Amino acid sequence: MRVAYKDLREFLSVLEQEGQMLRIHDQVLPEPDIAAAACALTEIGENSPAIHFDNIAGFTDARVAMNVHGSWCNHALALGMEKDASMRDQFFEFVRRFQLYPGALERVESAPWQEVVIEKDVNLFEILPLFRLNRGDGGYFIDKACTVSRDLDDWNNDDVENVGIYRLQVKGPNRLGIQTVPQHDIAVHMAHAEERGEDLPVAIALGNEPIITLMGATPLLYTQLEYKMAAVMQGSPYRVVKTAKGLDVPWGAEYVLEGRVLCGVRETEGPFGEFPGYYSGCHKYPVIEIDRVSHRKDPLYDAVYVGRPWTEIDFLQAMTTSAPIFLQLKQTFPEVVAVNALYTHGLVVVVSTKIRYGGFAKYVGLRVLTTTHGLGYAKIVIVVDEDVDPFDLKQVMWAISVKVNPAGDIVTIPNLAENLLDPACSPGGIVTKMIIDATTPVAPDVRGDYGEELDKPENTDQWRTKLQDLIKEMRK
Partner 1 sequence: MTSPAGSINPTACPRCRSDEIRTLGKSPVAAVWTIFGCPTCFYAWRSSEPEENVNPDKYPAAFRLRPDGLADLKTVPPVPPRRSAE
In angstroms, rounded to a whole number, what is the distance separating the alpha carbons of residues 238 and 243?
16
Regarding 59 and contact with partner 1 (CB under 8 A), the answer is yes
* Number of chain residues interacting with partner 1 (CB under 8 A): 47
Label the pairing between strands 116-118 and 287-295: antiparallel
H or E segment and range at residue 194: helix 185-196
Q: Which of 238, 275, 285, 343 binds partner 1 (CB under 8 A)?
A: 285
| Closer CB to partner 1, 140 or 377, in the complex | 140
| Closer CB to partner 1, 102 or 271, in the complex | 271
> CB neighbours of 449 closer than 8 A, spacing ≥ 6?
none
In angstroms, rounded to a whole number, what is the distance separating the alpha carbons of residues 235 and 228?
11
> CB neighbours of 191 closer than 8 A, spacing ≥ 6?
none
Active site positions, annotated: 274
> CB neighbours of 298 closer than 8 A, spacing ≥ 6?
61, 63
| Closer CB to partner 1, 136 or 334, in the complex | 136
Question: Nearest distance from residue 142's CB to partner 1, in Å?
Answer: 13
Contacting range for partner 1; rule: CB under 8 A; set: 90-98, 99-107, 189-197, 316-324:
189-197
Regarding 283 and contact with partner 1 (CB under 8 A), the answer is yes
Distance of CA 247 to the CA centre of its chain: 22
Site string for partner 1, 190-209 (x = CB under 8 A): xx--xxxx------------
> CB neighbours of 40 closer than 8 A, spacing ≥ 6?
none
Regarding 172 and contact with partner 1 (CB under 8 A), the answer is yes
In angstroms, rounded to a whole number, what is the distance separating the alpha carbons of residues 359 and 363?
8
Regarding 427 and contact with partner 1 (CB under 8 A), the answer is no
Q: Which of 2, 115, 119, 173 binds partner 1 (CB under 8 A)?
A: 173
Burial letters 228-253, b for 16+ CB under 10 A, else e: bbbbbbbeebbbbbebeeebbbbbbb
Residue 126, φ and ψ in degrees, nearest 5:
-105, -25
Regarding 429 and contact with partner 1 (CB under 8 A), the answer is no
Residue type, 81: M
Q: How far is CA 407 from CA 365, 377, 395, 410, 447, in A?
A: 17, 26, 22, 7, 10
Question: Nearest distance from residue 306's CB to partner 1, in Å?
Answer: 16
Regarding 58 and contact with partner 1 (CB under 8 A), the answer is yes
Neighbours of 466 (CB within 10 A): 11
Question: Nearest distance from residue 122's CB to partner 1, in Å?
Answer: 11
Question: Nearest distance from residue 166's CB to partner 1, in Å?
Answer: 12
| Closer CB to partner 1, 72 or 141, in the complex | 141
Q: Which of 2, 96, 107, 266 binds partner 1 (CB under 8 A)?
A: 266
Contacting range for partner 1; rule: CB under 8 A; set: 100-108, 276-284, 395-403, 441-449:
276-284
Question: Nearest distance from residue 144's CB to partner 1, in Å?
Answer: 19
Site string for partner 1, 135-164 (x = CB under 8 A): xx-xxx------------------------
Considering only residues 105 to 124 of the shown chain, the ones binding partner 1 according to CB under 8 A are 123
Query: Which SS3 state, helix, strand or coil, does residue 279 take?
Result: strand
Question: Nearest distance from residue 268's CB to partner 1, in Å?
Answer: 5
Contacting range for partner 1; rule: CB under 8 A; set: 206-214, 226-234, 282-290, 378-386:
282-290
Question: Nearest distance from residue 190's CB to partner 1, in Å?
Answer: 7
Q: Which of 74, 180, 234, 328 binds partner 1 (CB under 8 A)?
A: 180
Closest CA to 353 of 339, 372, 368, 371: 339
Distance of CA 114 to the CA centre of its chain: 27
Burial, 373: exposed, middle or buried (Cβ in 10 Å; 0-12, 13-18, 19+)? Answer: buried
> H/E/C letters for each residue in 322-382?
HHHHHHHHHHHCCCEEEEEEEEHHHCEEEEEECCCCCCHHHHHHHHHHCCHHHHHCCCEEE
Contacting range for partner 1; rule: CB under 8 A; set: 278-286, 291-299, 355-363, 369-377:
278-286
Regarding 260 and contact with partner 1 (CB under 8 A), the answer is no
In angstroms, rounded to a whole number, what is the distance separating the alpha carbons of residues 37 and 242?
36
| Closer CB to partner 1, 125 or 463, in the complex | 125
Q: Which of 10, 16, 18, 31 binds partner 1 (CB under 8 A)?
A: 31
Contacting range for partner 1; rule: CB under 8 A; set: 57-65, 143-151, 160-168, 353-361:
57-65
| Closer CB to partner 1, 383 or 431, in the complex | 431
Regarding 132 and contact with partner 1 (CB under 8 A), the answer is yes
Q: Which of 43, 82, 84, 126 binds partner 1 (CB under 8 A)?
A: 126
**DSSP class of 201:** E
Question: Rule CB under 8 A: which residues touch partner 1?
Answer: 29-32, 57-60, 123, 125-126, 132, 135-136, 138-140, 169-173, 177, 179-182, 187, 190-191, 194-197, 264, 266-269, 271, 279, 282-286, 420
